[in-house]
Structure 1
Amino acid sequence: MKTFKRKLGILAIFKGSIEEATFNEKSYYTRISLIGQKLGIRIFVFSPRHVNFASKTITGFRLVNGNWEKELFRFPVLIYDRFFRGPYVKKNNHILQEMQNNADLTFLGRGLSGKWQVHQMLSQSADLNPLLPPTELFTVQSFIEKLETNGSLLIKPLAGTHGNGVVRIQKRNSQDGQTKYELTGRTLHNKPFRLVLPSQKQTIKKVNRLTKKKEYLIQPFLQLATKEGFPFDIRILVQKNGQGKWQTTGKAVRIGNKKSITSNLHGGGMATALHPFLEDHYPQEICSHIIDTLDHIATTLPPFLEKKHGRLVELGIDAGVDPEGNVWIIEVNSRPGRDVFRHIKDRQAIATSIKQPVHYARYLLEEHIGG
């Protein structure tokens, strides 16, 4: 059993047997492990099902000469949580809760609990609240009132990712004078769909089926698309650095398909560099306003949210921009991906995004936790 003290365990999702190195994001963890070796930190990857609380041990996989080898480790001082929530939570929730409550384990950052909770925390900031779309929990009565008043709205699951389950509902007046309702979005399994229903009653029935197994939010449908009709958002990646300070790693634009209402890369979107995109779509003075607002969000949101929520290590902040140049905070993710920077070939952002969690881990080990 390895007793090396400077250890960082990466809590990951395994695609197959936990007896084999079948975890997601393997290339990312490989690069993290190589950085850890240079910094004197032993890194291993494990599943919640690898944890033995009685013996305070974890069976994990460590990179050895380019290969992932299974070993038995004593509890690491630090854990980097990359265990994406979703269908995996129910079967592992009791283990995750026990890990978070265990005095022998310290997380680099604790995962955010959901969109509604994040919205409630951010709405307490005088700086950030004006940038939040009006948001409330879904109820049938509220849904009917908002739809009839505004003519369109957006519903999204509290715990959804990658645009899954996000649906736009719009009232449409047909040529025969009848009101119809158009539903456009993605299922919880990320399948795009478009449906036109002839009555409010049938629309409510369909929405009830969509929201039956999950809690949903209601928001106004904002026009966050180019003049050509391509939906887009801006991903800001902020991370703690080797001095324990928040730092902006990079920004990039994600552009969706015209038939989509979201711009997630998992939904078939593409990515492009921020500044050229803005210059192509907005006048110079509006571009400057957008950049200033994004920088303000990047510096204001992380410390405020951390103060309300507890320790965080990195955040993916998704911002939308409407045709007038108003910036909106759409979503905040505590387990952000990095693919957007690979798509735009931003090598500096890619390298920084990978090294920061390990450098922050070293900071905690040396300055706060000891080693």
Structure 2
Amino acid sequence: MTANQRSLGIMTRCQGSHFVDKGYYRKLTQYGRKHGIRVFVFSPRQVDFSSRKVNGFEFRNGAWQSNVFPIPALIYDRCFVGPSYRHYKPFVEKLQNDRNITFLGHGLSGKWQVHQMLVKSAVLAPHLPPTDLLTLPALDGTLNKYGAAIIKPMAGTHGIGVVRIKEARGGYEVSGRNRENQPFRRLIREKKKLKAFVASFTAGRKFLVQPYLELHTSDGTPFDVRVLVQKNGQGNWETTGRAVRLGDKQSITSNLHGGGKAVPLASFLSKHFPSAIVTRIDHVIHKLTDELPRFLEQSHGRLVELGIDVGIDTKGNVWIIEVNSRPGRTVFRMIDDPTAQLHSITQPVRYANYLMKERVGGY
């Protein structure tokens, strides 16, 4: 097996030598080296297809060092989608279409596309909140039926741009996080002014609208459950870890980037729900997170890992809130789960090793 066939390229958005998640990629590099896999970080904009070379960075001798590498046989896509992704997309697509390259998994498209896939599953559909593309008539319909709505950007992350609109005495209470991830709350008295606010707030971006679900504890603390599922060294899906993310009482989301914290799932459930309901919740979460990656992969194509965000309302009903194909791992460090933390880092390399064996029929 040639050197580039035993290499794993972590594709991310680099600005020179600056890129996020350096600590995670350092650990991936070190774990890969133990297993004879050369791991390096590169930007899709730095690939030279004529020479089949790429400028990238490798962690050696205690520091990140630049180097020129052969285009790797396997790519781990950590190129987060955002406003500037359009500058990377053509290069990513060229790599995806290269027959000599295998992606560990392909990134999911927007929330709407994912919802359209998942709603076709008889197991998953009952646990998906009613979801529409945001239009003023769709918002009106949701408010009239449920009394409160959530609007969220189709391509948003970290709870940025998520807003609750709630019928209130004297008008509408609007609260959430703006584009700078700053919390806000205001009362808008007239329907006409509400429509003007929504048009201004969502300008230039596509949003979804859903009923507002009571995803909080009895004292009003918002929370959700992050479940990390990953492919293992045999190519099979496995749950790496589960944790609860708690938000600030003044917030409507529980995202860690909005100042939230994390706690273990089992102790949290037993504190907030009766034992019979805890048993049912645990069973449903297991059923959903077992079904979802396999079902989604059938429609979407190969995936390597998913962060599945699960909501639990005040009655103990379980909802699928969001699915992320480029999940973070901070939550498992925050709850001091060293096994989940270790697996979250090592599984992508184990799966890469499995794919390498598959490509050459064993070695």
Q: Which residue of 2 aligns with 1:352?
A: 343
Of 55, 63, 69, which residue of structure 2 is paired with 1:67? 63
Of 173, 181, 189, which residue of structure 2 is paired with 1:182? 173
- Structure 1 counterpart of 2:109, one-letter code: S
Superposition deviation, residue 102 in structure 1: 2.0
What's the C-alpha RMSD, in Å, of the aligned pairs? 1.3
Superposition deviation, residue 3 in structure 1: 4.7
Of 312, 317, 326, which residue of structure 2 is paired with 1:326? 317
Q: Which residue of 1 aligns with 2:48?
A: 52
Superposition deviation, residue 4 in structure 1: 4.2
Are 1:123 and 2:115 matched, yes or no? no
Output one character per residue of 1:134-163: Cα deviation in whole Å (capped at 9) or x when no partner. 001111111122223322101001100011
- Structure 2 counterpart of 1:337, one-letter code: G
Q: Which residue of 2 aligns with 1:280?
A: 271
Superposition deviation, residue 48 in structure 1: 1.8
Q: Which residue of 2 aligns with 1:176?
A: none
Are 1:339 and 2:326 matched, yes or no? no
Q: Which runs of 5+ in 2 are unaligned?
A: none
Q: Quick check: 2:228–2:308 contact (8 Å CA) kept in 1?
A: yes
Q: Which residue of 1 aligns with 2:22?
A: 26
TM-score of the superposition, structure 2-length normalised?
0.97
Q: Quick check: 1:147–1:171 contact (8 Å CA) kept in 2?
A: yes
Are 1:363 and 2:354 matched, yes or no? yes
Q: Which residue of 1 aligns with 2:73?
A: 77
Which residues in structure 2 correspond to 1:77-156 (within 5 Å)?
77-156=73-152
Q: Quick check: 2:4–2:73 contact (8 Å CA) kept in 1?
A: no
Q: Quick check: 1:10–1:45 contact (8 Å CA) kept in 2?
A: yes
1:133 is paired with a residue whose SS is coil
Superposition deviation, residue 88 in structure 1: 2.6
Q: Which residue of 1 aligns with 2:161?
A: 165
Provide the C-alpha distance between the structure 2 equivalents of 1:185 and 1:105, rounded to a whole number of angstroms. 42
Identity fraction in percent = 51
Q: Which residue of 2 aligns with 1:12?
A: 12
- Structure 2 counterpart of 1:184, one-letter code: S
Q: Quick check: 1:306–1:312 contact (8 Å CA) kept in 2?
A: yes
2:137 is paired with a residue whose SS is helix
Q: Quick check: 2:5–2:74 contact (8 Å CA) kept in 1?
A: no
- Structure 1 counterpart of 2:131, one-letter code: T
Q: Quick check: 2:104–2:302 contact (8 Å CA) kept in 1?
A: yes
Q: Which runs of 5+ in 1 are unaligned?
A: 174-178
- Structure 2 counterpart of 1:130, one-letter code: P
Q: Quick check: 1:240–1:360 contact (8 Å CA) kept in 2?
A: yes
Superposition deviation, residue 80 in structure 1: 0.2
- Structure 1 counterpart of 2:40, one-letter code: F
Provide the C-alpha distance between the structure 1 equivalents of 2:12 and 2:324, rounded to a whole number of angstroms. 16
- Structure 2 counterpart of 1:193, one-letter code: F
Q: Which residue of 2 aligns with 1:302?
A: 293
Q: Quick check: 1:3–1:73 contact (8 Å CA) kept in 2?
A: no
Superposition deviation, residue 121 in structure 1: 0.5
- Structure 2 counterpart of 1:8, one-letter code: L
Runs of 4 or more above 4 Å deviation: none
